[in-house]
Amino acid sequence: MQLFSIIFISLLLAFSSSSAISAPFEEDVDYERIDQPQPTKSKNKIEVIEFFWYGCPHCNNFDPYLQRWKKGLASDVEVVLIPAIFRPEWEIHARAFYTAQVLKVLDKIHPAMFNAIHDRGVPMSNEAQIMKLFIDNGVSERNFKRIFNSFAVESKVRKAKTVHTNYGVRSVPNMVINGTYRTNAGLAGNNVNVLKVADYLISQERKK
Domain layout of the chain by residue ranges: 27-206
Q: Are 124 and 83 in contact (CB under 8 A)?
A: no
**Alpha-carbon distances of 94 from 85, 153, 175, 204, rounded to whole Å:** 7, 9, 17, 31
Note the pLDDT of residue 23. Answer: 74
pLDDT value, residue 43? 82
Residue pLDDT, tens place only, 78-107: 999 999 999 999 999 999 999 999 999 999
Confidence tier at 3 by pLDDT (50, 70, 90)? very low
Cα dihedral sign, 73-76-81-82: negative
What pLDDT is recorded for position 127? 99
Tens digits of residue pLDDT in 16-52: 444 445 579 999 999 999 999 999 988 899 999 999 9
Instruction: Please say whether the structural domain 27-206 has been given the CATH code 3.30.70.1230.
Output: no
- Whole-number pLDDT of residue 2: 55
Strand pairing report for 32-33 and 46-52: unpaired
Euclidean distance between CA atoms 4 and 19, whole angstroms: 22
What distances in angstroms separate CA 198 from CA 49, 61, 110, 188, one per listed residue?
10, 17, 22, 10
